[in-house]
């Protein structure tokens, strides 16, 4: 055969393949999402997310230490309060569950980078992501509560805040309040591009945050759209977002690529609860090879343009990197 170009040459051996690799994965880019709950001495498994738990503050150190040992140093905290109300006041209470967890985590495992998820839905009695006006979330009054939530998290020790509510103008509202209180250097990772998605199902069970009526389609995005993702991304950058997040991840990698091309800030992909649950369920049935599926999902996020990857599999991925299975 008279052939000069043979792509297989670059696949001939392990060292060649690794040298020519286009995408590299680093533990420093992983974020682990973690649920904290009120009470003492309990670690409760989330039924639709086997292997994931709701931790009381006195026990969360176990998980933080095991993450740190594996080399995962970035953690995002989600709170499950005991009491909820109309306006979600537990989100910004000084003794709110996330605030308590942040203080304890800073004390117990000081070398972790702690991120607060800023949203109201875990704290409102109706399960929506802000205050209501009739049967919809009222955007502008919600901004003040989101900003208060972000500030109280930073005061409790959060190194970064991540608004996930999808209200218009919340990045600017948070930036202004943080700056006014002397937190000019605290970054905001905005869930700028968050779709209304069935992939959040298991999370809502974990956080007990499903809306009691209706859905989130008046604030989260329609999954048919990608140019709208660029609009949201550019707006949030203008408002001062330091990092943009796209969520969910696996079914939205085209969106990651478009947002990556349209902006010049780091892009984070959040592989959400439904992605985790699907992989776990199929793996439990012995239908797929869990480690390899998780590896491909992670690498594909980076290949698409993510430089940060949030996943319930963070600790496992760190091990795959150690073992040289990905990297």
Q: Which residues bind ligand PBG (CB under 6 A)?
A: 117, 119, 121, 129, 164, 200, 203-204, 272-273
Q: Cβ closer to ligand PBG: 45 or 323?
A: 45
Q: Cβ closer to ligand PBG: 278 or 293?
A: 278
Q: Which of 27, 84, 148, 194 is catalytic?
A: 194
The residue at minimum Cβ distance from ligand PBG is 203
Contact 150, 177 (CB under 8 A): yes
Q: Cβ closer to ligand PBG: 141 or 327?
A: 141
* DSSP characters over 234-293: HHHHHTT-SEEEEES-GGGHHHHHHHHHH-SS-EEEEE-HHHHHHHHHHHHTTSS-HHHH
Check if 27 is active-site: no
In whole angstroms, the minimum distance from the beta carbon of 309 to ligand PBG comes to 13
In whole angstroms, the minimum distance from the beta carbon of 81 to ligand PBG comes to 13
Q: Cβ closer to ligand PBG: 117 or 316?
A: 117
Residue 2: other Cβ atoms inside 10 A: 3
In whole angstroms, the minimum distance from the beta carbon of 137 to ligand PBG comes to 11
Q: Cβ closer to ligand PBG: 119 or 233?
A: 119
Q: Which of 148, 247, 258, 280 is catalytic?
A: 247
- Give the C-alpha separation, 23 to 42, whole Å: 40
Contact 221, 236 (CB under 8 A): no
- Give the C-alpha separation, 267 to 190, whole Å: 10
Contacts of 287 (CB under 8 A, 6+ apart): none
Check if 5 is active-site: no
In whole angstroms, the minimum distance from the beta carbon of 192 to ligand PBG comes to 13
Contacts of 263 (CB under 8 A, 6+ apart): 233, 234, 237, 244
In whole angstroms, the minimum distance from the beta carbon of 123 to ligand PBG comes to 10
Which residues does the annotation mark as catalytic?
194, 247
């Amino acid at each position: 055969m008279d052939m000069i170009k043979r792509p297989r040459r670059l696949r001939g051996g392990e060292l060649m393949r690794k040298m020519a690799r286009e995408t590299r994965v680093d533990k420093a880019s992983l974020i682990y999402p973690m649920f904290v709950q009120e009470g003492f001495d309990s670690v409760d498994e989330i039924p639709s997310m086997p292997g994931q738990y709701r931790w009381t503050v006195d026990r969360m150190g176990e998980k933080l230490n095991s993450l740190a040992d594996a080399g995962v140093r970035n953690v995002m905290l989600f709170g499950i309060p005991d009491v909820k109300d109309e306006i979600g006041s537990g989100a910004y209470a000084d003794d709110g569950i996330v605030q308590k967890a942040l203080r304890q985590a800073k004390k117990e495992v000081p070398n972790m980078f702690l991120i607060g998820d800023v949203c109201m839905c875990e704290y409102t009695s109706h399960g929506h992501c802000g205050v209501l006006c009739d049967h919809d979330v009222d955007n502008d009054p919600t901004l003040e509560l989101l900003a208060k939530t972000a500030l109280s998290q930073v005061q409790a020790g959060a190194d970064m805040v991540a608004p996930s509510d999808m209200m218009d103008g919340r990045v600017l509202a948070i930036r202004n309040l943080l700056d006014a209180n002397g937190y000019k250097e605290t970054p905001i990772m905005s869930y700028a591009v968050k779709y209304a998605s069935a992939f959040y199902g298991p999370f809502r069970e974990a956080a007990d945050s499903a809306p009691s009526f209706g859905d989130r389609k008046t604030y989260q995005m329609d999954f048919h759209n990608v140019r709208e993702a660029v609009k949201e991304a550019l707006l949030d950058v203008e408002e001062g977002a330091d990092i943009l997040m796209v969520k969910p991840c696996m079914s939205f990698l085209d969106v990651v690529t478009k947002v990556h091309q349209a902006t010049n800030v780091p892009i984070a992909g959040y592989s959400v609860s439904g992605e985790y649950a699907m992989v776990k369920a199929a793996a439990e049935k012995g239908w797929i090879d869990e480690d390899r599926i998780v590896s491909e999902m992670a690498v594909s996020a980076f290949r698409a343009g993510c430089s940060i990857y949030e996943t319930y599999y963070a600790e496992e991925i760190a091990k795959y990197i150690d073992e040289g299975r990905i990297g």
